[in-house]
Amino acid sequence: MKKLILILSFAFLGLTAQAQIQYIEEKPQYIEKQADSLTKIYTKKLGLTPKQDLLFKSNVADYLIKREEIKKNYKGKKMLDQLYIVSKEESGSMSEVLTEYQFELYEKIKPSIQPLAKVDQD
C-alpha cells in the first residue's frame, strides 16, 4: 500500500512539474514585429510594467499566429466567428496579465487597435 501511494505521489509530482515548464516556440519574425508594435501601443495606453510588457507581447504573438491560421482556413462569416472566439480567448488571457483597471481600459481600446476583420459582401 505504501509503495502504491509513493508511486502515485511521484507520478503526480512529475506531471505537475512538467505542466509548469513552458516550451518556447520560435515565432516567425514578422509575427514578433507585429507583436512588438502592438505591445508598444498598449504599453503607452495601459502603462504596462516591464514584466507585464513581456507577458503581454508573448500573448499577442500567440494570438496573432492563431488569427493567421483562421484567415488561411476560413472565409466569410465562419472566419469572423472564429476570429471573434479567438479575440475573446485573447482577452481572457490578458485578464491574467493586467490589473483590473488596465483590463477594463484594454477592453475599451482593443477594437480600435486590433479590429477583427471585414468580410466582403458579394
Question: For residue range 35-74, what is the model confidence (pLDDT) as tens digits?
Answer: 999 999 999 999 999 999 999 999 999 999 999 999 999 9
Instruction: Kindly report the number of other CB atoms within 10 A of residue 76's CB atom.
Output: 11
Mean pLDDT of the chain: 84
Predicted TM-score of the model (pTM): 0.72
The number of angstroms, rounded, from the C-alpha of 20 to the middle of its chain's C-alpha atoms is 17
Choice between 114 and 118, residue whose per-residue pLDDT is larger? 114
pLDDT tens column, 89-103: 999 999 999 999 999
